[in-house]
């Protein structure tokens, strides 16, 4: 039996506005699975050429898979969204890279010929499910020194990165953070942020129904002076603050993937073409550096070099871990190719959902940048991993 791989395309991506986690956040009384349902329904509405029964898989990531993020959320959200019972679904977890892994997993299935069309996404309601909820680490981790005790506290791993790369100072991290806020604010003002958002009806018993239409976390007008005085909760006189890290957030994302020939058959738009991907492990105590080896792997497998990449969407779990990536590849802290519409430090990082936010954003950037051929989405992952996905711009106009 001979096989041929099929091209996989990213058709369209959406997300809910991101909220602040906690009792005052806009999603405090909204279920996590309802956030996913909104994304699935919006994808189906925006792509009316796709018959619902043609969806072959719904993969939804969540880091904490209990309560309103439990019960095999890919399947249950599909049913709640009104997809036919014939459409299967599953739940997937690679912590922060959950949605990214949902994409690479279903995309692999498409390339292999098992699926024609898939929905991939992620959700994290960190208000309902604080980081580390219900975890039970094996005592061998510590007794056999498999990992340092700091490895499970993400902020501490970021402090560890400052130790490893002393030239990545707190000042550089704060400056990067201010840049993220500024770029997000500019993109918002220019209408770049918004078209991908799915309004969510939010209810509060005290205030009644409202409608979430905008991201809640950004802090426009942030300055380096303002950030300098913030507390360093992970270490006395440390480097990592609430200002140069992503916050604790609620939100969901979803995207539509298809075999390129199927997308053409159904008249679906082609936002990006998948080139390749890589995941890699690093020491858990410095998990933030994970995107470096994962990117090297992805570049190696696709035959590209870092110079081929015209746009970067890097998840900003911590400013220092983005700086570590840029530093490794010799890219300036404020390179305009990197996170041109701001990043997670401004918009937020509802853990397992973020991978698809990066992709959706990249695909929208591709549409207005026909001069760019390749783009890269990458993120670090807890317990010491990185993930990288390389995409090609279908709007690329070729060498001039």
Partner 1 sequence: MSEQFPDEVVTQALTRLVTLPGVDKPLALITLDNGHDHTRPSTFGPGGLASLEAALDQALAADVAGIAVTGKPFVFAVGADLSGVPRISSRDDALEIARQGHRVFARLRDVAVPTFAFVNGAALGGGLELALHAQHRTISGGAFVAFPEVFLGLVPGWGGTQLLPNLIGIDAAVSVIVENALSQNRMTSGPRAAKLGIADAVFEPADFLERSLEWAAGVLTGAVAVDRPPVDRSAWDDAIARARQVVAARTRNASPAAVRAVDLLELARDASFADGTAAEDDALADLIMTPELRASLYAFDLTQKRAKRPAGAPDKALARPVTKVGVVGAGLMASQLALLLLRKLQVPVVLTDVDQARVDRGVGWVHGELDKLAGKGRLSPDALNRLKGLVSGSLEKSAFADADLVIEAVFEELSVKKQVFAEVEAVVSAQCVLATNTSALSITEMAADLQHPERVVGMHFFNPVAVLPLLEVVRAGSTDDATLATAFAVGKQLGKSCVLVADAPAFVVNRLLTRFLGEVTAAVDAGTPVDVAERALDPLGLPMTPFELLSLVGPAVALHVAERMHEAFPDRFGVGTGLRRMVELGKTTVFSEPGVVDPELADAFTSTGTGPTAEELRASAERAMAEEISLMLDEGVVQAVEDVDLAMLLGAGWPFWLGGISPSLRRPGALA
Enumerate the β-bridge partners of residue 381: 385
Helix (H) or strand (E) holding 125: strand 117-125
CA dist 256 and 188 (Å) reads 24
- 28 versus 198: smaller Cβ distance to partner 1: 198
Q: Which of 32, 61, 62, 81 binds partner 1 (CB under 8 A)?
A: 81
Residue 199 interacts with partner 1 (CB under 8 A)?
Answer: yes
Q: Which of 208, 236, 303, 330 binds partner 1 (CB under 8 A)?
A: 208
Strands 272-281 and 385-392: antiparallel
Q: State which residue, 37 or 258, has the beta carbon closest to partner 1.
A: 37
41: contact with partner 1 by CB under 8 A: yes
* Residue 351 engages partner 1 in binding (rule: CB under 8 A): no
Q: Does residue 201 interact with partner 1 by CB under 8 A? A: yes
CA atoms within 13 A on the CB side of 86: 6
The nearest distance, CB 194 to partner 1, in angstroms, is 8
The catalytically annotated residue of 96, 128, 162, 255 is: 96
380 catalytically annotated: yes
Instruction: Determine if 209 is a binding residue for partner 1 (CB under 8 A).
Output: yes
Which residue, 38 or 172, is less far from partner 1 as judged by CB? 38
Catalytic hit among 128, 129, 162, 349: 349
Token pair, residue 201, equals: 């009806």
Q: How far is the CB of 201 from partner 1 (least distance, A)?
A: 4
Answer for the pair 338, 312: CB distance below 8 angstroms, yes or no.
yes
Query: Is 96 labeled as catalytic in the residue annotation?
Result: yes
Total chain residues near partner 1 (CB under 8 A)? 20
Q: Which stretch binds partner 1 (CB under 8 A): 92-100, 195-203, 229-237, 253-261?
A: 195-203
Q: Supply the DSSP string of 332-352, one letter for each residue.
A: -TT-TTBSTT--HHHH---GG
- DSSP, collapsed to helix, strand or coil, labels residue 397 as coil
Indicate the helix (H) or strand (E) that contains 275: strand 272-281
82 near partner 1, rule: CB under 8 A: yes
Q: Return the number of the residue (208 or 398) whose C-beta is nearest partner 1.
A: 208
* Both structure tokens of 362: 């990249």
Give strand pairing partners of 254: 14, 121
Among this protein's residues, is 349 annotated catalytic? yes
Taking CB under 8 A as the binding criterion, the range among 78-86, 148-156, 230-238, 285-293 that sits at the site for partner 1 is 78-86
Ramachandran region of residue 220, left (φ > 0), alpha (ψ -120 to 50) or beta?
Answer: beta
Residue 321 and residue 36: Cα distance in Å, rounded?
28
Given a contact cutoff of 8 angstroms between Cβ atoms, the answer to whether 32 and 18 are in contact is no
Nearer to partner 1, 200 or 314 (CB): 200
Stretch 92-131 residues interacting with partner 1 (CB under 8 A): none
Please list, in sequence order, all residues whose beta carbon lies within 8 angstroms of the beta carbon of residue 145, skipping any fewer than 6 positions away: none
Select from 17-25, 36-44, 225-233, 275-283 the region that touches partner 1 (CB under 8 A).
36-44
Q: Please check whether residue 342 is in contact with residue 241, taking contact to mean a CB–CB distance below 8 angstroms.
A: no
Select the span of 61-69, 163-171, 194-202, 309-317 touching partner 1 (CB under 8 A).
194-202
- Candidates 11, 26, 37, 268: give the one binding partner 1 (CB under 8 A): 37
Name every residue whose Cβ is closer than 8 Å to that of residue 38 and which is 6 or more positions away in sequence: 16, 198, 200, 252
Contacts with partner 1 by CB under 8 A lie at 37-38, 41, 80-82, 198-201, 203, 205-211, 213-214
| Catalytic positions | 96, 349, 380
């Amino acid at each position: 039996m001979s096989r041929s791989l099929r091209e996989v395309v990213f058709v369209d991506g959406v997300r809910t506005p991101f909220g602040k986690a906690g009792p005052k956040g806009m999603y405090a009384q909204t279920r996590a699975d309802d956030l996913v349902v909104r994304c699935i329904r919006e994808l189906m509405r925006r792509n009316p050429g796709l018959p619902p029964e043609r969806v072959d898989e719904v993969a939804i990531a969540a880091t904490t898979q209990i309560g309103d993020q439990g019960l095999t959320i890919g399947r249950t959200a599909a049913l709640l969204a009104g997809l036919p019972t014939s459409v299967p679904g599953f739940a997937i977890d690679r912590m922060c890279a959950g949605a990214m892994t949902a994409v690479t997993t279903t995309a692999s299935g498409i390339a292999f010929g098992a699926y024609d069309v898939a929905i991939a996404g992620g959700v994290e309601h960190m208000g309902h499910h604080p980081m580390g909820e219900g975890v039970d680490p094996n005592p061998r981790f510590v007794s056999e020194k498999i990992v340092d005790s700091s490895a499970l506290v993400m902020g501490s791993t970021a402090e560890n990165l400052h130790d490893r790369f002393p030239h990545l100072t707190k000042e550089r991290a704060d400056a990067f953070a201010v840049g993220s806020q500024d770029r997000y604010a500019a993109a918002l003002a220019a209408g770049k942020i918004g078209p991908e958002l799915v309004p969510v009806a939010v209810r509060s018993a005290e205030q009644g129904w409202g409608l979430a239409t905008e991201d809640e976390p950004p802090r426009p007008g942030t300055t380096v002076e303002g950030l300098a005085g913030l507390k360093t909760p992970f270490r006395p006189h440390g480097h990592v603050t609430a200002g140069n890290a992503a916050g604790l957030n609620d939100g969901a994302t979803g995207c539509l993937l298809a075999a390129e020939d199927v997308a053409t058959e159904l008249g679906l738009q082609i936002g990006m073409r998948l080139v390749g991907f890589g995941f890699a492990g690093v020491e858990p105590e410095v998990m933030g550096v994970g995107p470096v080896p994962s990117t090297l792997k992805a570049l190696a497998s696709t035959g590209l070099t870092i110079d081929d990449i015209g746009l970067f969407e890097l998840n900003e779990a911590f400013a220092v871990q983005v700086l570590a990536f840029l530093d490794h590849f010799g890219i300036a802290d404020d390179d305009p190719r990197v996170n041109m519409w701001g990043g997670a430090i401004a918009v937020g990082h509802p853990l397992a959902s973020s991978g698809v936010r990066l992709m959706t954003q990249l695909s929208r950037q591709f549409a207005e940048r026909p001069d760019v051929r390749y783009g890269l989405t990458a993120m670090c992952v807890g317990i010491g991993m990185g993930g990288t996905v390389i995409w090609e711009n279908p709007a690329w106009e070729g060498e001039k």
